[in-house]
Structure 1
Amino acid sequence: MRSFVAIPLPEDTRDALEAAQFRLTLGRMVARENLHLTLAFLDDQPEDTLEHLHAELEPLRVPEFIITLSGLGCFGGDKPRLVFANVVQNPALESLHRKVLGAARQAGITVARRRFHPHVTLARIRPGTGGAGRIADAIATLNDLRFPDTPVKSMSLFSSDLHPDGPIYHELARYDLA
């Protein structure tokens, strides 16, 4: 089962992100209900492994904290593949990320080693639909957008079913922070 652990976002943050998407006007927008901050992408995992991960995540406790979204960016350099809202790094977010990775390792899941760049994906760019300059211009016009500070009170384990119209996410479990 394709899965990931993420922070679900409250309605006011989704409202602000949706407003940014509306003004972005390029790429395929991520559905409002799919907006989230990924802590760990787990790829395809057997159900029993996810049950083991659930047992590892359930007792995890970290204090609630606030994240700040600031500005937009894109991944992919000269061949942009997605536009995102940047999440300002903070120690509490870093700690939660490390604890989730540790729980995944305890459950026998190997998570790809990548530098953690917290973000919320807003749009996916299909190859050949816009150059880096066009996307940079679109992002620059949105520098005035402000996002509300976002309280982080829980994280969730999601499954992801890929479909031609975009992925469908299912929340498998929710874990309240301390």
Structure 2
Amino acid sequence: MRVFVGIMLPEALWGAVAALQAELGCGRPVAEEALHLTLAYLGEVDLPELETLHEGVSALPVVPFEVVLAGLDVIEGGERARALVLKLRPSPALEALQAKLVQAARRAGLELERRRFRPHVTIARFNRGLTEAQAARLGHLLESRGDVVLPAWRVGGFALIRSHLGREGAEYEVLAEYPESAPLPQGQAK
């Protein structure tokens, strides 16, 4: 099955994203319930590997932290725009969590692509090249709202998510959630 580890965008931010999508007015907007931040794309994974991964990430301590979506960017593939994304402000806590998840995936026997972590939330996809009018709309949005900053949100965990690909795009199924760790009684260390 096709899976990744990620953080679903909280409902409190859906309206702000929908406003950006409406202002863009082209491409295929990502549905509110599908907005997410990918921490580690795992690809096609068999059940035994998935169970080993689950055991490994279940043991990871999750300390809550805040992240901020700030700035729009375009992800390109080849010579065309593929997606409009919201970038994240640098977050050492997010980067540390992502690194731990990648290590856990490798310990579970998964082979991951080696690429730099560039955290973002995709808000619209462009399946084919943009028409001149669509490119102008995208350019206008980047110029007028490219420095957008959404309210900070508290990350209190992450999820193991299965991706089902369909004609209308991907649908996501949360297979397991990993909430923040309960604080230890005073005097006990991890």
TM range (shorter): over 0.9
1:5 aligns with 2:5: yes
3-state SS of the aligned residue for 2:80? coil
Equivalent position of 2:29 in the other structure: 29
Tell me the amino acid that sits aligned with residue 159 of structure 2. Answer: S
For each residue in 1:49-70, what CA deviation from the matched residue of structure 2 results, as whole angstroms up to 9, or x when unmatched? Answer: 1111111110111310000111
Which residue identity does 2:179 align to in structure 1? D
- Figure out how many residues of one structure are paired with residues of the other and give that number: 178
- Relative to structure 2, which stretch is displaced further, 38-47 or 122-131? 122-131
User: How far did residue 108 of structure 1 move?
Assistant: 0.6
- State the AA in 2 paired with 1:35: L
After alignment, is 46-55 or 72-81 more displaced? 72-81
Q: Return the alpha-carbon distance in structure 2 between the equivalents of residues 47 and 144 of structure 1.
A: 42
Matches within 5 A, 1:1-178: 1-76=1-76, 78-130=79-131, 134=136, 135-143=138-146, 145-178=148-181
1:71 to partner: Cα distance: 1.2
Bigger Cα Rg: 2
1:26 deviation in Å? 1.6
Q: State, as a whole percentage, how many aligned pairs show the same letter.
A: 39
Report SS of the residue matched to 1:16: helix
**What secondary structure does 1:141 align onto?**
helix
- Pair 1:144–1:114, CA change in 2 (3 A): closer
RMSD, aligned α-carbons: 1.7
